[in-house]
Amino acid sequence: MDYKTDVWVDWCPGCGDFGILTGVQRALKELEIPPWRTVIVSGIGCSGKTPHFIYAYGVHTLHGRAIPFATGIKMSNPDLTVIVDGGDGDLLGIGAGHFVALGRRNLDITVLIHDNQVYGLTKGQASPTLPAGVQTKSLPKPNLQDPVNPIALAITSGYTFVARAFAMDIEHLTSIIKRAINHKGAAVVDILQPCVTYNNIYTTQWYRKRVYKLEDEPGWDPVVRNPSERPMKIAKAIEKAWEWGDRVPVGVFYEDKTKDTILDRIQNYIPTYKEKPPAKQEISVGGKPVVDSETFKEIFKSYIIRVRK
């Protein structure tokens, strides 16, 4: 099983998307996650085609809306491995609110950002991660806006696994994706990838000269093993997140193994939730609805009373 489909991969030759596709396929294979337990969810953009190329369940959704779809899938059936593949424009532009909300929920989903600093599918406009003052060949003038920092945004939103990788170092990328999938909680990997057609600044050669691995730094330890370590590890990770220029760090910036997920919190309200999530409930027998909606009604009632007061 190599998780490949027979759909023709129509990205431009040399695009970093190929590296990311290979990284996901290898990670799934090495982790031995069956295709029928895997769901790849994408939005719109060149990265949006990814679910078509991976032998697993897949949903190619709307612009900026991959995370809400993925959230519904995971909450309905927590046994599934759910991976979001989205571009930097899709996830950090129109989908930025959903990106933040996933961190707040610390829901066990892996988000892979195909970060090429441009909107490749629509001819290379500046995306939210392109630094101000940079003029790619697709822009008439240098970019006027400051960039979003995906690492800093993810950490401050509540993601409990935050990493960066380079699409053309497939071995390292695969190892990071595997760690992200295995992490219990919201995980994000910001994957630096060349767009050979529209971004002539941040090329494969540009990255190869600058990228270095955090794990090779003496003393680098991004893992929170006790909640009291959080402020210090967050501060160190965010400081590293802004390093960009002669040296560009990749690897794990932050990993918190101590925080509960929203599924744990739902379980506190609904003791049968993990054993019988919505996807595993019978919805009717003999044409009669049998869903136990009483617990949900009780929860919603408490909210309604608070609003009325």
Q: Does 168 bind ligand SF4 (CB under 6 A)?
A: no
Q: Does 9 bind ligand SF4 (CB under 6 A)?
A: no
Q: Please identify, among the stretches 53-61, 114-122, 149-157, 242-250, the one whose residues bind ligand SF4 according to the rule CB under 6 A.
A: 114-122
Q: Does 167 bind ligand SF4 (CB under 6 A)?
A: no
How many angstroms separate the most distant Cα atoms in the chain? Answer: 67
Residue 127 burial (C-beta neighbours within 10 Å; 0-12, 13-18, 19+): buried
Closer residue to ligand SF4 (CB): 11 or 273: 11
- For residue 297, CA distances in Å to 267, 281, 283 come to 15, 17, 16
Q: Does 106 bind ligand SF4 (CB under 6 A)?
A: no
Q: How far is the CB of 116 from ligand SF4 (least distance, A)?
A: 5
Closer residue to ligand SF4 (CB): 56 or 195: 195
Tokens of 221: 């330890």
Provide the mask over 54-93, with x wherever binding to ligand SF4 is found by CB under 6 A and - wherever it is not. ----------------------------------------
Q: Does 42 bind ligand SF4 (CB under 6 A)?
A: no
Q: Please identify, among the stretches 78-86, 102-110, 195-203, 280-288, the one whose residues bind ligand SF4 according to the rule CB under 6 A.
A: 195-203
* Alpha-carbon gap, residue 234 to 224, rounded angstroms: 9
Q: How far is the CB of 26 from ligand SF4 (least distance, A)?
A: 20
174-179: long-range contacts (C-beta < 8 A, 24 or more apart)? Answer: 174/22, 174/23, 174/26, 174/27, 174/30, 176/250, 176/251, 176/252, 177/23, 177/24, 177/27, 177/110, 177/112, 178/27, 178/30, 178/31, 179/252, 179/255
Q: Does 119 bind ligand SF4 (CB under 6 A)?
A: no
How many C-beta neighbours within 10 Å does residue 160 have?
A: 24
Provide the mask over 13-32, with x wherever binding to ligand SF4 is found by CB under 6 A and - wherever it is not. --x-x---------------
